[in-house]
Amino acid sequence: MLLSALLGYYFYYLVAMLCLAVLWQRRELQRTKMALERERDNWKSERSGRIRIEEELRKVKLEAATARVAAASQSAADTSGTGAFESVTAAVACQQAAATQAETEALLEAAGVGDVAEMERLLGDSDAEMMLVATNEKGATALIRAARRGHTHAMRLLLNHPSADSAAMMMHADEDGSTAFTLAALDGYVEAMRLLLDHPSADADAMMSHADSEGFIALLLAARTGQVDAMRMLLAHPSANAAAMMMHTDSEGSTALTLTAWLGHADAMLLLLDHPSADSASMMMHTDGCGSTALTLAAESGHVEIMRLLLGHPSAQPVAMMMHAHDVGCTALLLTAEHGHVDAMRLLLDHPSANPTAMMAFHTGVDDDGGDFSTDDAQLAHVPQLINEAVIGMAIAWRQQQPPR
């Protein structure tokens, strides 16, 4: 009897605790729901406030223009003849320009955040043909603003508008020489890139070969930021001249491969080296404006995996690559020593084709006038700044201590 009573009490205790736990969870869920609703209300309030501010700014600009018209009209009432008419005409034109400028700024802002509804309203209330090609202070159009953030719905609205000169809009460049397509490639917005390339008015070849003010084409921009999917799409496009694009250089002589090696984008680099149209050997031995190859750039940055992939590639020339020195005279090994990249030094010294003594040699450089100078002069001028001799000595000692292969 006693045991049964205890079990019964224990059972009721468990049920009570379970009920309390359920009630507690329901209360927590209710609190969470209320917090989310407050956040939603705050967001709506902030958005409404921003819209009201924008509307107030437009009203202020319009009121200022209207005041100028009124002043001109009063002036016309006190005068006569053609001069008065011209004064009023100029004031009206000023009012129209102020209104159009406010609407243009609003369109650019809406395009930048992908607000399609606001864009439709603005384009329906004003001179759409003019607004579609209008620019901000940096030369960016609404299409460029939308492409820069990958807002494909906004881009489609702009390109398919009845008043749009789509071909001119797609080839328009801002003050940096960037088009909607190159900016979409920079951040890897593949759908935005595809939308532009596949548009009926697109000149795909011109878009892919267009270079900005620093010489970057779309492939180089995508390579610089490691956008593998964007690079793959560019190289596979039917209008692409993949070989020419991979050998294209920017204003400093960098190719897509040297950029990926320098910045450590391994997947992007392999995509380039393994492409059917790639002249991989030439690409790996290409030198930029400072005489640096993909390997020396990777060594300088300490990207060990990049260096391993370059030296192990079937088209690699390891001896030539490791012995190459840039314009100041440093080989890949000296660059790793200069920057203290011990793992990168170990990779080079351990390579079957390594010649540590030769790789340690400081090669003849180029002086400020572009002429060659002797090794001694190079050492006197540059070694103190470029080479940590203690690190190099440690590397040589470490290499000499290794058992013979």
Global pTM reads 0.70
Number of H helices, E strands in the chain: 24, 0
Give the number of residues written for the chain: 405
Around Cβ 232, how many Cβ atoms within 10 Å? 16
Beta bridge partners of 315: none
Residue located via tokens 């984008």:
265
What average pLDDT does the segment 237-263 reach? 96
State how far the Cα of 71 lies from the Cα of 9, in Å rounded to an integer. Answer: 92
Around Cβ 30, how many Cβ atoms within 10 Å? 10
- Residue 372 backbone dihedrals phi, psi, to 5 degrees: -75, 145
pLDDT digits (tens, 9 = 90+) for 257-309: 999 999 999 999 999 999 999 999 999 999 999 999 999 999 999 999 999 99
Closest CA to 107 of 125, 131, 140: 131
Tell me the percentage of the chain whose pLDDT exceeds 90: 52
State how far the Cα of 237 lies from the Cα of 196, in Å rounded to an integer. Answer: 12
**Cα separations in angstroms, 158 against 111, 178, 199:** 9, 18, 12
Task: Classify 366 as helix, strand or coil.
Answer: strand
Closest CA to 216 of 189, 188, 187, 252: 252
| 43-52, 159-168, 173-182, range with the lowest pLDDT | 43-52
As given in the structure block, the two tokens for residue 361 are: 């040699």
As given in the structure block, the two tokens for residue 240 are: 């692409």
As given in the structure block, the two tokens for residue 278 are: 């790639």
Residue located via tokens 């892919």:
208
State how far the Cα of 63 lies from the Cα of 66, in Å rounded to an integer. Answer: 5
Residues 6+ apart with CB under 8 A from 313: 273, 280, 284
As given in the structure block, the two tokens for residue 22 are: 């359920």
Torsion angle of alpha carbons 376, 377, 380, 385, nearest 10°? -110
Q: What is the pLDDT of residue 322?
A: 93
Residue located via tokens 């192990």:
312
As given in the structure block, the two tokens for residue 11 are: 């059972």
pLDDT digits (tens, 9 = 90+) for 392-403: 555 555 555 555
As given in the structure block, the two tokens for residue 233 are: 């799409």
Closest CA to 300 of 328, 334, 343: 334
Decide if 280 contacts 315 (C-beta within 8 A).
yes
State how far the Cα of 217 lies from the Cα of 77, in Å rounded to an integer. Answer: 59
Q: What is the pLDDT of residue 385?
A: 42
State how far the Cα of 359 lies from the Cα of 311, in Å rounded to an integer. Answer: 15
| 60-74, 144-158, 162-176, range with the lowest pLDDT | 60-74
Closest CA to 111 of 63, 61, 164, 40: 164
State how far the Cα of 260 lies from the Cα of 257, in Å rounded to an integer. Answer: 5
Alpha-carbon 206 to chain mean position: 20
State how far the Cα of 209 lies from the Cα of 152, in Å rounded to an integer. Answer: 22
Residue 164 Ramachandran class (φ > 0 left, ψ -120 to 50 alpha, else beta): beta
| 72-76, 243-247, 321-325, 337-341, range with the lowest pLDDT | 72-76
Q: How confident is the model at residue 104 (pLDDT cuts 50, 70, 90)?
A: confident
State how far the Cα of 12 lies from the Cα of 228, in Å rounded to an integer. Answer: 62
Q: What is the pLDDT of residue 54?
A: 61
R_g of the chain, CA atoms, integer Å: 33
